[in-house]
């Protein structure tokens, strides 16, 4: 049963990967991490379980045995950016092989048609553990972007790229992740080639603390510069029914500092999550961004 479900997820991923999906415009899509991670400083590369795996580090999907369905909505104030995201992640296989499938649509500046940009992104992620301590994973992505500054073909571009990641868990309380993102360089600042890294520490059953970073290795229009985004945060579960998240960091690309907060109501069936990122100061002339996120996660029960 579990093998059949994992196989079905993989087949649907191939179908969608060959279809007309793609990625969206900077800055919202490039920094899209999911609502849970948004509230924790924006990084979960050291413990990218569930829907965070295809977005941040595919190898993290094997850390937990779970079957998650997730839907997210993000809004970025500066460019009136709207992002819609859906994913399915299954890590319940008998062999602990994990599979994930996701789709993202993004639209910038809907009130200014001449300056609007939009696109779609679709991907298939797979993860395989080696014993209890190491897992590796990869995400294959197909992207099609329209209305982007600096893009060839009159502002329209498309292509296939991929991520490769690994997670090491020396103890049950500590996990460390590293991932190369967009390793096939597409020449677009909206999908820069980058290396991400992170660590997570679980304290007891109710507290998780994370530290995270991602360094862009390429600089293409419209990305203003190379840089590193670093962050830290955590989440505290209260009476098994609510989660409080906080975090903060520095974005070397925009050269702005930021803080984040998040809340979630959880049950055995699923969770409703909210997150906020607010730039706290301007270091390089970039406008201060506000990003709001909301998501619903469904935890499919296992037989």
Q: Which domains does the chain have, with CATH numbers?
A: 2-235 (2.40.160)
Question: Three-state SS for 16?
Answer: helix
Q: What is the 3-state secondary structure (H, E, C) of 114-136?
A: HHCEEEEEEEEEEEEEECCCEEE
Query: Can you name the residues that pair with 202 across neighbouring β-strands?
Result: 208
pLDDT in tens, the chain (303 residues): 444 344 333 333 332 332 333 333 344 555 689 999 999 999 999 999 999 999 999 999 999 889 999 999 999 887 778 999 999 999 998 888 999 999 999 887 755 555 567 888 999 999 999 988 999 999 999 998 877 554 555 577 889 999 999 999 999 999 999 999 999 998 877 788 999 999 999 998 899 999 999 999 998 776 777 889 999 999 999 988 999 999 999 998 888 899 999 999 999 899 999 999 999 877 666 778 899 999 999 998 876
At 161, list the tokens: 């790229």
Element (H, E) at 14: helix 2-17
- Please tell me the distance from the alpha carbon of residue 183 to that of residue 187, in angstroms, as a whole number: 11
User: Given the structure tokens 């037989």, which residue do they identify?
Assistant: 303
Query: Would you call 290 exposed, middle or buried from its count of C-beta atoms within 10 A (0-12, 13-18, 19+)?
Result: middle
- Please tell me the distance from the alpha carbon of residue 32 to that of residue 25, in angstroms, as a whole number: 10
Per-residue pLDDT, 285: 64
Kindly report the CA angle at 69 between 65 and 71, in degrees rounded to 5? Answer: 140
Element (H, E) at 3: helix 2-17
- Please tell me the distance from the alpha carbon of residue 18 to that of residue 141, in angstroms, as a whole number: 10
Per-residue pLDDT, 149: 56
Query: Under a CB-based contact definition with an 8 Å cutoff, are residues 210 and 43 in contact?
Result: yes
pTM assigned to the model: 0.83
């Amino acid at each position: 049963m579990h093998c059949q479900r994992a196989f079905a997820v993989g087949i649907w991923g191939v179908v969608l990967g060959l279809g007309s999906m793609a990625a969206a415009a900077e800055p919202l899509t490039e920094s899209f991490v999911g609502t849970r991670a948004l509230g924790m400083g924006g990084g979960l590369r050291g413990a990218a379980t569930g829907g965070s795996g295809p977005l941040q580090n595919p190898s993290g999907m094997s850390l937990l045995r779970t079957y998650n369905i997730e839907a997210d909505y993000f809004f970025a104030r500066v460019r009136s950016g709207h992002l819609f995201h859906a994913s399915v992640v299954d890590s319940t296989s008998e062999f602990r092989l994990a599979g994930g499938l996701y789709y993202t649509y993004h639209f910038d500046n809907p009130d200014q048609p001449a300056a609007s940009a939009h696109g779609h992104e679709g991907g298939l992620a797979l993860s395989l553990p080696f014993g209890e301590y190491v897992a590796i994973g990869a995400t294959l992505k197909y992207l099609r972007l329209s209305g982007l500054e600096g893009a060839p073909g009159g502002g329209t571009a498309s292509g296939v790229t991929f991520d490769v990641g690994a997670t090491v868990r020396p103890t049950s309380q500590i996990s460390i992740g590293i991932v190369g993102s967009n390793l096939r360089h597409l020449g677009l600042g909206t999908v820069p080639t980058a290396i991400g890294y992170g660590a997570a520490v679980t304290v007891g059953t109710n507290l998780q603390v994370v530290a995270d970073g991602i360094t862009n290795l390429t600089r293409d229009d419209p990305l203003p510069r190379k840089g590193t985004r670093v962050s830290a945060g955590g989440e505290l579960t209260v009476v098994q029914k609510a989660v409080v998240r906080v975090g903060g960091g520095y974005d070397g690309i925009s050269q702005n500092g930021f803080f984040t907060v998040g809340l979630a109501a959880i049950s055995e069936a699923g969770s409703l999550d909210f997150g906020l990122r607010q730039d706290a100061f301007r270091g390089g002339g970039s406008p201060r961004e506000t990003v709001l996120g909301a998501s619903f996660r469904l935890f499919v029960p296992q037989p």
